[in-house]
Copies of this chain bind each other. A is one copy, B any other.
Amino acid sequence: MRQTLDFLLNDWLKVEALNQRERFADHSSETFGAVLDTSERIAREKFAPFNRLVDTEEPHFDGDKVHLPAATKAAMDAFVESGLLAAAQDYDLGGMQLPCVIEMAAKTFFSKASVALSGYPMLTKGNANLLMAHGTDRQREVFAANEFSGRWFGTMCLSEPQAGSSLSDIATRAEPDGDDAFADVLGPRYRLKGNKMWISGGEHELSENIIHLVLAKIPGPDGKTLPGTKGISLFIVPKKLVNATGELTGERNDVSLAGLNHKLGYRGTTNCLLNFGEGRFKPGGKAGAVGYLVGQPGDGLKCMFHMMNEARIGVGLGAVMLGYAGYEASLEYARQRPQGRPIGPSGKDSSQAQRPIIEHADVRRMLLAQKSFVEGGLALSLFCARLVDEEHTGDEASATEAKLLLEVLTPIAKSWPSEWCLEANSLAIQVLGGYGYTRDFPVEQYWRDNRLNMIHEGTHGIQGLDLLGRKVVMNGGNALMALAGRINATVQQALQQPALAEQANQLAAAMARVGRATKAAWATGNPEEALANATLYLQAFGHLVLAWVWLDLSLCATGENDFARGKQAAAKYFFAYELPKLAAWLEPVERRDGLCREIEDGWF
């Protein structure tokens, strides 16, 4: 993988050019490479060897504490010591001022080694990043800084048992905490009551404290909360209370674990139902979880989206790396497992010795499909991270373009790997055959772990609605146009090369077809009709984006060496075997097929 990663960063994304920018002026290929080396080493030594262990020794709650394998703590300590939590932060925060794209590249090693163990730092980083963007100076100093240092870990608390995709229906309430509620240096102080579900990292003993970022509604004077998302605010709710300088006060906040969820996979990350304000603990003598408002009342979802967009790209990368792990495992197996003989022009000759299964065309197909999914997905994840850097450090024009591209690419960067790198994991099982179905090999766990990614951080259905209902139509469709501009540029370049001209034309046709489908879906202006097939649109759009990524990679991976040929073969595979699926998905979108809208309950 390292060679591919280096190719993507250096040859394709040309990350070295970032060193010309003031923020990254101290960096060079060498410092970037050193970060990757360190990450690769920690992941290899402290994460990978324990990935099966954290699956079999599931988190266990004894009614008081959550027990995790000792390896989890050791992995976290190694990660914290590396300083990677603050990798992208300012020097004066103890950070390394690394570009986001390098931070993302570093993350690949951890996600591939153990996606579940990687969950804790990813959440902590996202939590602290949100506070850097929306918190007060004091909130940053007290909460974010202690998260970047790894002293405390973080969570995001959005869902409730009765409200997941529909966040407007959360029922957690926050009321001002006494007369001095608005005079607290840590921010306007509230008491929260409610239940939060699916909270990853919601309880553990890995860090000195856990900082929950919690969505809740502040009731009006009539005691009622606003319907919809307008009434949602965001709060910092530490597990243990802290003072204005970030010392623990010794008092436990009124947040308690109601239970752990027992999952299909991703078992190394605790996943919790948390009770806020049920009165198990009584800070200051009364029930209610103490929370500090972040940003303005009613801005909760807007603030949270800052974290969620980042989290979505992170989820996509996690899905990619699970796919990558499966690809590597099945490739290794296929190279050493003898079974059968390739079919020659005159069939098979059973008097010959058996050959490694990598020599069978169908096994190669399954490996090549995986390669196209996971390397393409990795390229897309890194491309998005590079866009984040552009948004933050580019000139105005390119920052604006980057922001637009991110709007439209985030749902793809999240959803596409969740679907297709899961499929890659299924192909990895298939390559191993019966052995792949046993727990003696890692591929079944990758498949189980990966199944979460189409669900959390916005389900597939939600991503489809976001893409077709919002992203491609907002501001007159300028985000879609920004992407079309990029795709067209790649097409034009590829048309210059005889070997790529056919793919270029295929891509141009696919782009045109997606454009037509977008228009056709919205032709009546009725969202009910336009969005009835939004998930299919998402799938088609994803394949379009990945075809573009692969054509662009083909332009870059030139030469006659094995590495370049492999990239070209994966691109060819994607265009020959995958892109043709686009038409099947877009047909119902284009005709605004009403079948699914109109079918009645009683017909099932």
Hey, which bits of chain A sit against chain B, CB under 8 A? Answer: 159, 162-166, 168-169, 197-198, 227-229, 261-265, 331, 335, 338-347, 350-351, 354, 358, 360-365, 367-368, 371, 426, 429-430, 433-434, 436-440, 444, 447-448, 451-452, 454-456, 459-461, 464-465, 526-528, 531-536, 562-563, 565-566, 569, 572-573, 576-577, 580-581, 583-584, 587-588, 593, 595-597, 599-604
Contacts and interface: CB of A to CB of B under 8 A. Distances in A.
18 contacts: A162-B354, A228-B351, A262-B440, A264-B448, A265-B437, A358-B601, A361-B597, A362-B464, A362-B534, A362-B596, A365-B535, A433-B455, A447-B451, A562-B602, A562-B603, A563-B603, A566-B603, A572-B595
Contact of A262 (B340, B429, B439, B577): B439
A428 to B, nearest CB: 12
B461 A340 contact: no
B601 A335 contact: yes
Given A433-B459, A444-B264, A527-B343, A351 B603 contact: no
B165 A437 contact: no
A315 to B, nearest CB: 14
Contacts of A430: 454-455, 459-461
Contacts of A164: 339, 433-434
A580 B587 CA distance: 8
Contacts of A526: 345
Contact of A452 (B198, B227, B437, B602): B437
A565 B603 contact: yes
Contact of A159 (B338, B434, B531, B536): B434
Contact of A596 (B263, B368, B426): B368
A372 to B, nearest CB: 11
A345 B528 contact: yes
**Most chain B C-beta atoms within 10 Å of own C-beta, residue among A162, A229, A440, A584:** A584
Nearest to A584: B580
Contact of A580 (B262, B347, B527, B583): B583
A456 B434 contact: yes
A528 B344 contact: yes
Main secondary structure on A side of the interface with B? helix
Contacts of A339: 162-166, 169
B436 A455 contact: yes
A337 B488 CA distance: 44
Contacts of A338: 162
A438 B264 contact: yes
**Most chain B C-beta atoms within 10 Å of own C-beta, residue among A263, A335, A456:** A263
A262 B163 CA distance: 37
Contacts of A440: 261-262
Contacts of A459: 430, 433
Contact of A576 (B263, B455, B587): B587
B448 A604 contact: no
Given A361-B597, A566-B602, 9 more contacts: A227-B351, A262-B438, A358-B601, A365-B533, A429-B455, A562-B603, A577-B593, A577-B595, A580-B587
B362 A461 contact: yes
A167 to B, nearest CB: 10
Contacts of A534: 362
Contacts of A197: 434
A341 B465 CA distance: 13
A251 to B, nearest CB: 32
A261 B438 contact: yes
* Among all A-B residue pairs, the 10 with the closest Cβ atoms: A566-B603, A228-B350, A166-B340, A580-B584, A562-B602, A365-B596, A264-B444, A362-B461, A361-B532, A581-B584
B569 A595 contact: yes
Contacts of A198: 434
Contacts of A365: 533, 535, 596
A402 to B, nearest CB: 29
Contacts of A531: 343, 361
A420 B553 CA distance: 33
A550 to B, nearest CB: 13
A165 B435 CA distance: 12
Nearest to A593: B576
A572 B565 CA distance: 43
Contacts of A227: 350-351
**Most chain B C-beta atoms within 10 Å of own C-beta, residue among A264, A358, A597:** A264
Contacts of A344: 527-528
A368 B601 contact: no
**Most chain B C-beta atoms within 10 Å of own C-beta, residue among A229, A339, A365, A526:** A365
Nearest to A370: B604
A569 B600 CA distance: 10
A339 B603 CA distance: 21
A68 to B, nearest CB: 19
Nearest to A570: B603
